[in-house]
Amino acid sequence: MAASVHSTAHGLIRPEPWLRAGGLLAIWLLLLILIVYPLLMLLSRAFFDDGQLSLQALLAAVTAAKNLRALGNSLLLAMMVGVAGTLVGLLFAFTVERVSGARRFSRLIDFFTFLPLISPPFTTSIAFVFSFGPRGLITYDLLGIKGVQVYGLTSTFAAETLTYFPIAYLALRPMLASISTGFEEAAFSLGGSRWHAFRTVTLPLVIPALANAFLLLFGCSLADFATPLILAGSDFSVLPTEAYLQITGMFDLKSGAILSLLLLVPAGLVFFAQERLVAGRSYVTVTGKAAVSAQHDSVSTAAGLALLGFCILMSALILYFYLLLFYASIVLAFGANHTLTLEHYRVIFSEGLPAIKDTLIIALVGMPLGGLYGIVVGYLVGRTTFMGRKAMELVSMLNYALPGTIVGIAYLLAFNDKPLALTGTATILIACYVFRYSPIGIRTTIALLQQIDRSMEEASQSLGASHLVTFRRVMLPLILPAFFAGLGVVFIRSMTAISATIFLVSINWTLITVKILENMTEVALGPAAAFSVFVIVVVVFVTSMLNVLLKRLTAPSLRVGRIGA
Partner 1 sequence: MATASIEIRLAAISATFHHERRGDITAVRNLDLVVKPAEFLTLLGSSGCGKTTTLRMIAGFQKPSSGRIWFGGEDVTELAANQRDIGFVFQNYALFPHLSVFENVAYGLRVKRQDATLIESSVEAGLRQVGLQGMADRMINELSGGQQQRVALARAIAIKPRVLLFDEPLSNLDAQLRVLMRSEIVRLQKELAITTIYVTHDQEEAMAISDRIAIMDEGLIAQIGTAEELYQRPASRFVAGFLGSANLLRGTVIATGAGKTAIDILGHRWELSGDSPVTAGRQVDAVVRPEALTLAKQGSGLSGVVQRRTYFGDKAEYIVRVGEVAIQAIQWNPSLEDEFGAGQQVSLRLPSSNVQLLPA
Partner 2 sequence: MSPSATDRFTARLSPKIDRRSIVFGALASPFVIARSHAAESLKAYSIWPENYARPMLEAFEKSTGIHVNFIRFSSGEALARLLAEKGNPQVDVLFGGPVETFTAGEEQGIFEAYTPPSAADLPKRFKSEKGQWTAIADDPLVFMTNSKFLAEHNLQPPASWDDLLNPAYKGMLQMADARTSGTAVTRIFSVLQVNNRNEDLAFAYMKKLRQNIQAYTKSGGGGTVPVGLGQAAGGIFFIVDALFTKQKGYDVQISFPKEGIGSAAECIALVKGNKSGAEARKLIDWATSPAMQSLLAPAKINFLPAHPKVAPDPDLAAVLKQAKIIEIDDKWAGENRKRIVDRWVAEVLNAG
Binding region for partner 1 (CB under 8 A) out of 7-15, 109-117, 138-146, 503-511: 7-15
| Closer by beta carbon to partner 1, 346 or else 472 | 472
User: Near partner 1 by CB under 8 A, which window of 4-12, 202-210, 244-252, 509-517?
Assistant: 4-12
Give Cβ neighbours of residue 450 (< 8 Å, ≥ 6 apart).
Answer: 283, 382
Q: In 179-252, which ranges are continuous DSSP H helix?
A: 181-189, 194-197, 203-223, 226-231, 239-250
Cα distance between residue 258 and residue 244, in whole Å: 12
Q: Residue 14 interacts with partner 1 (CB under 8 A)?
A: yes
- Contact set for partner 2, span 522-541 (CB under 8 A): 522-525
Q: Site for partner 1 (CB under 8 A): how many residues?
A: 34
Contact 175, 209 (CB under 8 A): yes
Residue 134, φ and ψ in degrees, nearest 5: -60, -30
Cα three-residue angle 443-445-448, rounded to 5 degrees: 110
Residue 534 Cα to chain centre, angstroms? 20
Contacts with partner 1, 194-233, as mask; x by CB under 8 A = ----------------------------------------
557 binds, among partner 2, partner 1, none (CB under 5 to 8 A by kind): partner 1
Q: How far is the CB of 498 from partner 1 (least distance, A)?
A: 39
**Between residues 10 and 104, which has the closer beta carbon with respect to partner 1?**
10
Contacted by 458, from partner 2, partner 1, none: CB < 5 to 8 Å by type = partner 1
Burial (0-12, 13-18, 19+ Cβ within 10 Å), 363: buried
Question: Which partner in partner 1, partner 2, none is near 76 (CB below 5 to 8 A by kind)?
Answer: none
Q: Tell me which of 419, 455, 507, 552 binds partner 1, using CB under 8 A.
A: 455
State the nearest-atom distance from the C-beta of 276 to partner 1, in Å.
Answer: 17
CA distance 73 to 238: 6
* Strand bridging mode 331-333 / 337-340: antiparallel
Selected binder of partner 2 within 53, 55, 101, 235 (CB under 8 A): 235
The Cα–Cα gap between 157 and 227 comes to 9
21-29, 115-123, 308-316, 410-418 -> range binding partner 2 (CB under 8 A)? 410-418
Which amino acid is residue 90, in one-letter code?
A: L
What region does 560 belong to: left with phi over 0, alpha with psi -120 to 50, or beta? beta
Q: In the range 338-357, which residues lie near partner 2 by CB under 8 A?
A: 351
Q: Which residues contact 120 (CB under 8 A, 6 or more apart)?
A: 495, 496, 498, 512, 513, 516, 531, 532, 535, 536
Nearer to partner 1, 106 or 466 (CB): 466
Q: Is 151 in the site for partner 2 (CB under 8 A)?
A: yes
Of the chain, the end-to-end C-alpha distance in Å amounts to: 46
Q: Tell me which of 83, 291, 558, 559 binds partner 1, using CB under 8 A.
A: 558
Q: Would you say 161 and 318 are in contact if contact means Cβ atoms under 8 Å apart?
A: no
Of 97 and 224, nearer to partner 2 (C-beta) is: 224
Cα 537 from chain centre: 19
Tell which one of 229, 257, 487, 529 touches partner 2 (CB under 8 A): 229
Bridge partners (DSSP) listed for residue 333: 337
CB 37 within 8 A of CB 412: no
φ/ψ of residue 392, rounded to 5: -65, -40
Nearest one of 542, 366, 558 to 480, comparing CA atoms: 558
Is 342 a binding residue for partner 1 by CB under 8 A? The answer is no
Residues counted in the chain: 565
Q: How far is the CB of 562 from partner 2 (least distance, A)?
A: 18
Task: Round to whole Å and give the CA distance between 107 and 495.
Answer: 24
> Minimal distance in Å, beta carbon 183 to partner 2?
37
Angle (CA) 270-505-521 rounded to 5° is 85
Give the burial string for 216-239 (b: 16+ CB within 10 Å, else e): bbbbbbbbbbbbbbbbbeeebbbb
Q: For residues 3 and 340, which CB has a smaller minimum distance to partner 1 in the complex?
A: 3
State the binding partner of 462 from partner 1, partner 2, none, CB within 5 to 8 A by kind. Answer: partner 1
In angstroms, the CA 350 to CA 352 distance is 5
With contact defined as beta carbons under 8 Å apart, do 115 and 493 qualify? no
Chosen residue from 119, 181, 399, 460 binding partner 1 by CB under 8 A:
460
Write the interaction track for partner 1 spanning residues 463-482; mark x where CB under 8 A is met and - where it is not.
Answer: xxxx--x---xx--xx----
Nearer to partner 1, 6 or 418 (CB): 6
Tell me the Cα Rg of the chain.
Answer: 25
- Report the residue from 43, 108, 245, 286 that binds partner 2 according to the rule CB under 8 A: 245
- x/- track of binding to partner 1 for residues 264-293 (CB under 8 A): ------------------------x-----
Q: Which residues bind partner 2 (CB under 8 A)?
A: 65-66, 69, 129-130, 133-136, 147, 149-151, 229, 233-235, 237, 245-251, 253, 332-337, 351, 361-362, 364-365, 368-369, 412, 416-417, 421, 423-424, 426, 473, 476-477, 505-508, 510, 518, 521-525, 552-555
Q: Which residues bind partner 1 (CB under 8 A)?
A: 1-5, 7, 9-10, 12, 14, 16, 288, 453, 455-456, 458-466, 469, 473-474, 477-478, 554-558
